[in-house]
Every structure is written in C-alpha cells, then in structure tokens.
C-alpha cells in the first residue's frame, strides 16, 4: 500500500504504534497522520530572504526601481529589547550604478522590551532608514556588500539595521521616569547607573545591607 510509507513525523509513529493491529483503522490513521504532519510541520525554519533580481536593472546605469519590503526576521535581541514576530515592512529604491546597485529606503519594525524603571513589558514601533551598496566582487574588507551581479538579498541589511536600532534602555511611558526630569532624565545605560550611584549615596546605605556593613569586611578603611 502506498499509504504504508508514512511521513517521518512523531505523530504518525504514535498512531501506527497504537493502531498497528487494526487494518480497518490503519487507513484512517494514515490520513490523520498526514493531516497532523501538515499542521505540525513548521519544520526546519528557512532563514528569511528578500531576493531582488537586478539583472534587468543593471542593463542601464542610473536605472531605478521601487521595491516593497515585507519580511519576518529571526528574533533580533539586545540588552533591553527584542523584535516582535510582526513583519518588518517598508519600501526601498534600488538603482543601477557602475559594478553594482545602491539601495536606500525605510522600514518599520515592532519591538518589545522591559521598561528600565518598572520592569514591566513594553514595546513600540519604529521606522528606520536603511541604505547599502552592493558591488560585484567587492574586496572582502570593504564597506560594501558583495553580490553575484544578478541578485541581491536585503535581509542581512534589514537585520543589521533593526538590531542596531533596538532600544537599549526602553521606558514603558515617559512619566514612568518619574515627574522629576532632573533626577531621571533620558540617558544612556552608563549615565543611568552613575545617577543611581549618586542617588544611593544621597540616601545612605540600603537598610537591607546594614547587616553586611556590621560585618566590617573591609580592613584598613
Ligand atoms: Zn515603566
């Protein structure tokens, strides 16, 4: 029977195991198995690509074309935030130049993260500009992307741009910073750590650590 070569999904093995003695049910079991595997099958995730064919465009220097962007990237993550599953969308213009292609445009992505003050989950949407030069046989140490002359893949460019634009120290809302902008201005992580130090020094030692200071571990001070 053709149906006996079941797909290698775990579901089909389970069903075969349960129903192997029963011929009447084995056909329904193989149907169920194949339906199962098509649902479960979100297999070996292919890395996303945005392949643009540029061979026609490159027939004439200065020729331009607009291209829509829509891609769901693998999760990009930095200290304070990460990308949402929502697709990155936008629009770019590609143009033929000598030995290559320039690309510029803008994309919008969504991110989620942890508020640096209250630690609640937060998120937002951000639009960023992207730009890249693709050149045939570009030297390895150059700033431009190498390509074969016919096709460019925009995913690495979009990925890098998104990862670099993720907020490192997000806030859930501006007033989560507290009503006093002198004490809690928008700042980098390092500045914020320094400000916390100043604040701690003003308030004196944290009472939770009082027992530690009683131990007097630091000699000679
Ligand atoms: Zn907050």
CA of 204 to the centre of ligand 1 (A): 25
Please give the Cα distance from 221 to 158 (Å, whole number): 54
CA of 201 to the centre of ligand 1 (A): 23
CA of 170 to the centre of ligand 1 (A): 8
What's the confidence (pLDDT) of residue 68?
96
What's the confidence (pLDDT) of residue 212?
64
Q: What is the CA radius of gyration of the chain?
A: 28
CA of 171 to the centre of ligand 1 (A): 5
Q: Tell me, yes or no, whether 56 and 159 share the same domain.
A: yes
Residues surrounding ion ligand 1 at CB below 5 Å: 115, 117-118, 172, 176
Q: Tell me, yes or no, whether 24 and 120 share the same domain.
A: no
What's the confidence (pLDDT) of residue 214?
67
- Digits of tens for pLDDT over the chain (221 positions)? 444 444 444 333 333 334 334 444 444 444 444 444 444 444 456 678 899 999 999 999 999 999 999 999 999 999 999 999 999 999 999 999 999 999 999 999 999 999 988 888 999 999 999 999 999 988 888 899 999 999 999 999 999 999 999 999 999 988 886 444 455 555 555 666 777 777 777 776 666 666 666 666 555 55
**Paired sense of beta strands 145-147 and 121-136, if any:** parallel
How many angstroms from the chain centroid is the CA of residue 85? 8
CA of 186 to the centre of ligand 1 (A): 13
Helix axes 23-40, 10-19, angle to 10 degrees: 170
- State whether the Cα torsion 79-85-86-92 is positive or negative: positive
CA of 118 to the centre of ligand 1 (A): 4
State how many domains the chain has. Answer: 3
CB neighbour class for 102 (10 Å; exposed up to 12, middle 13-18, buried from 19):
middle
Count each helix (H run) and each strand (E run) in the chain, helices first. 5, 8
- Range of 31's domain? 2-40
Please report whether residue 30 resides in a domain. yes
CA of 69 to the centre of ligand 1 (A): 32
CA of 176 to the centre of ligand 1 (A): 5
- The reply to whether the predicted model has a pTM over 0.75 is no
Q: Tell me, yes or no, whether 71 and 100 share the same domain.
A: yes
Q: Tell me, yes or no, whether 19 and 61 share the same domain.
A: no
CA of 192 to the centre of ligand 1 (A): 15
Q: Which helix (H) or strand (E) holds 165?
A: helix 155-165
Token pair, residue 14, equals: 């389970």
Q: Tell me, yes or no, whether 36 and 74 share the same domain.
A: no
Please give the Cα distance from 81 to 85 (Å, whole number): 13
Q: Are 83 and 159 in contact (CB under 8 A)?
A: no
CA of 194 to the centre of ligand 1 (A): 19
CA of 124 to the centre of ligand 1 (A): 13
Q: Are 172 and 122 in contact (CB under 8 A)?
A: yes
Q: Tell me, yes or no, whether 119 and 82 share the same domain.
A: yes
**What does the longest C-alpha to C-alpha distance in the chain come to?**
87
Q: Tell me, yes or no, whether 31 and 99 share the same domain.
A: no
Q: Tell me, yes or no, whether 55 and 161 share the same domain.
A: yes
Please report whether residue 218 resides in a domain. no
Q: Tell me, yes or no, whether 155 and 186 share the same domain.
A: no
- State whether the Cα torsion 41-42-47-49 is positive or negative: positive
């Amino acid at each position: 029977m053709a149906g006996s070569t079941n797909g290698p999904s775990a579901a089909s093995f389970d069903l075969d195991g349960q129903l192997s003695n029963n011929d009447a049910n084995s056909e329904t079991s193989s149907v169920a198995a194949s339906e199962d595997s098509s649902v479960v099958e979100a297999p070996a995730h292919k890395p996303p690509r945005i392949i643009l064919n540029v061979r026609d465009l490159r027939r004439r220097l200065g020729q331009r074309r607009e291209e829509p962007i829509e891609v769901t990237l693998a999760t990009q993550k930095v200290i304070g935030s990460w990308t949402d599953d929502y697709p990155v969308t936008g629009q770019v213009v590609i143009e033929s130049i000598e030995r290559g292609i320039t690309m510029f445009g803008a994309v919008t992505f969504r991110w989620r993260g942890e508020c640096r003050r209250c630690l609640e989950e937060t998120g937002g949407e951000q639009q960023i500009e992207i730009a890249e030069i693709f050149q045939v046989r570009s030297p390895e140490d150059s700033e431009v992307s190498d390509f074969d002359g016919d096709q460019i893949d925009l995913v690495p460019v979009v990925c890098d741009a998104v990862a670099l634009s993720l907020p490192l120290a997000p806030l859930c809302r501006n007033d989560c910073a507290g009503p006093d902008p002198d004490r809690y201005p928008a700042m980098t992580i390092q500045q914020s750590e320094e400000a916390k130090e100043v604040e701690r020094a003003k308030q004196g030692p944290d009472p939770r650590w009082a027992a530690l200071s009683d131990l007097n571990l630091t000699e000679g001070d």
